[in-house]
Structure 1
């Protein structure tokens, strides 16, 4: 799934599978975060989730990005 896909193709299950994809997250944290944000907003626009659900998904996406940045920084420190 990519940001350009139709919003109707997003489901909560799809979004959660993206959230759990550590390989994609760690290989390109910024792009992965963007897909998570766009997917969350697509779910909200199509009324799959309400405002509170959107807030929860955005918070989880931000947490995943923070995790990825921290993991990559730790990896760089360990490589020294």
Structure 2
């Protein structure tokens, strides 16, 4: 147990000796002179978006058409000859 504590202390001590990266050099001059982003009111961010009318009225029809298209594609791939085989 004592060895584990000493090992963790040594690892933490060595990690504290590392240098920090120069983050100021990573930001270009155009980013430094850019305007701050416009903040949105918290009420707009927290409200749930309303569902589009097209997606809300018939999701089953869209899924059925998509399923039929996928089944047709699978049937086509299943019946396709294997090249070189």
Higher helix share: 1
Report if TM-score (shorter chain) is over 0.5. no
Taking structure 2 as the reference length, the TM-score comes to 0.33
